[in-house]
Amino acid sequence: MAQQDVKPTRSELINLKKKIKLSESGHKLLKMKRDGLILEFFKILNEARNVRTELDAAFAKSTEKINLASAVNGMVAVRSTAFTAKESPEIQLSGHNIMGVVVPKISSTGVRKSLYERGYGIIGTNSYIDETADAYEDLVEKIITAAELETTMKRLLDEIEKTKRRVNALEFKVIPELIATMKFIRFALEEMERENTFRLKRVKARMRD
Amino acid sequence: MELAVIGKSEFVTGFRLAGISKVYETTDIKATESVIKSVLEDRSVGILVMHNDDISNLPELLRKNLNESVQPTVVALGGSGAGSNLRDKIKQAVGVDLWK
């Protein structure tokens, strides 16, 4: 609020005081929300880091397995076996609330399959392909866990950033400007009071003369 | 909802073996871009899996869209900077690099 736009009146001063009080309580609440979100973020940070490490290890293992299967059976055989696979894994998304931020909870069905459910023939394939399928099923499970945690982290981080920006705007822009305007109105009112007293004294002096 | 995988033949074959049906094999960056755009609009896809090298070859804007996308959530595998987009986000939001 620019100071020159404000009329230095008592009602304006009362309104400003109310606004400052409201802004200060909002600032306090937002600060508490930011701290709470950061605490929640710290709770899942370690878990997310561990899952990422496990995911990288699972990916390296799966790549090794598929390379081995390709070396033994040939890439064409592995690819043709892959095309016969049926029953796609399904994921279900549900949300839960962390301090006003809706984060997903992902559950899955049909990721782990038995040898007979995979869809390819047992006679035409060997254990290398089975191990590869096993490794990739494990990888898919890890991907689902990582996706849940990483989405939660992304949403929390977005909210933390937003809240931080609001807290800073209130702390360094809105509240200081309101206080400056309040001071300006107080000075103006005091000045008017002094002028009035002086005027009254002059009138009194003239009347005496 | 389903998982989708986009990438080169050697990257996607294993996922096909695990039973994932939405597997998109691409050979060049142009094809990858158009497939990504269609997958991002597909509401039945919950998680999108890609290789980190493929993501880093994408144009800046599309890469930003992928990094910020929540549905589908993009999981990058392999390469050197698999968790780098999260690391950048943490640095930006918290101010400290906690992803060490």
- Give per-residue pLDDT as tens, B19-37: 888 899 998 888 889 999 9
- Residue appearing with tokens 């899955």: A108
The pLDDT of residue A2 is 57
The beta-carbon neighbor of A150 closest among B3, B49, B86 is B86
Q: Do B17 and A132 touch (CB under 8 A)?
A: yes
The beta-carbon neighbor of B1 closest among A56, A91, A110 is A91
Token pair in block for residue B21:
């049906």
Nearest to B55 by CA among B3, B8, B15: B8
ipTM over 0.85: yes
Name the closest residue on chain B to residue A143, using Cα atoms.
B75
- CATH class label, B2-94: alpha beta
Q: Do A154 and B68 touch (CB under 8 A)?
A: yes
Least confident of A71-85, A134-148, A153-167: A71-85
> What is the helix, strand, coil percentage profile of chain A, to 5?
75, 10, 15
When pLDDT is averaged across residues A195-202 and rounded to a whole number, the result is 95
- Complete DSSP assignment for B2-49: EEEEEE-HHHHHHHHHTT--EEEE-SSHHHHHHHHHHHHH-TTEEEEE
Give whole-number Cα distances, A189 to A15, A26, A181, A192, in Å.
15, 28, 12, 5
Q: Do B18 and A136 touch (CB under 8 A)?
A: yes
Q: Do A136 and B17 touch (CB under 8 A)?
A: yes
Token pair in block for residue B77:
């595998």
Q: pTM to 2 decimals?
A: 0.80
- The minimum CA-CA distance between A102 and chain B, rounded to whole Å, is 11
CA A4 from centroid of its chain's CA atoms: 39
Residue B69 main-chain phi, psi, to 5 deg: -70, 135
Pick from B10, B12, B17 the residue to mutate for testing the A interface (most A CBs within 10 Å). Answer: B17
> Percent of chain B scored above 70 by pLDDT?
94
The beta-carbon neighbor of A88 closest among B21, B90, B99 is B21
Q: Do B47 and A143 touch (CB under 8 A)?
A: yes
Would you say the C-alpha torsion B57, B58, B64, B70 has a positive or negative sign? negative
